[in-house]
Amino acid sequence: MRIICTSLEELLQSLAGDLSRGAVVFQEALFVNIYKKPLDGRTRFDAIKFEVLFDVSVLVAVGSGADEVEFFRDFQEKCGRDYTDGDCETTGTQNAEKLKAQVKEFADANGLRLEPGVLDY
């Protein structure tokens, strides 16, 4: 089952609840990705403007044997834009890094780790 969370807080609260009920997290990891999507130029190499996207995903199993249920939790947020012109504004990356720090804090407190990438379920 896929569950799309509308906020990072919602994902972390739901995951905390799963863990309190004895859930098992796939590879004991939260998968985190910060992606910079080019908004101009033909490729990411000649673009100047980028939309920064943050994604965190996790696969959780509750129960065992025939009673096991898997939940795929996913959250994505648009964090803003980065500009690589003269101003070198990195607001999007800074916002994404703040979200990543929240996920890292949660992971550390719950014996989990961060892995790069996005789970696809």
| pLDDT one-digit tens code per residue, 25-51 | 999 999 999 999 999 877 778 889 999
Q: How many domains does the chain have?
A: 1
**Cα–Cα distance for residue pair 72/63, rounded to 1 Å:** 15
- Any domain includes 54: yes
Tens-place pLDDT, residues 76-101: 999 999 998 877 899 999 999 999 99
Q: Domain of residue 21: give its range.
A: 2-110
pTM above the 0.95 mark? no
Beta strand residue intervals within the chain, DSSP E: 2-4, 24-25, 29-38, 49-62, 69-83, 113-116
R_g of the chain computed on alpha carbons: 17
The residue among 77, 84, 74, 5 whose CA lies nearest residue 39 is: 84
- Any domain includes 116: no
- Any domain includes 84: yes
- Any domain includes 117: no
Helix, coil or strand: residue 73: strand
The residue among 66, 86, 62, 82 whose CA lies nearest residue 3 is: 62
- Any domain includes 18: yes
Instruction: Name the residue type at position 65.
Output: G
- Any domain includes 80: yes
- Any domain includes 120: no
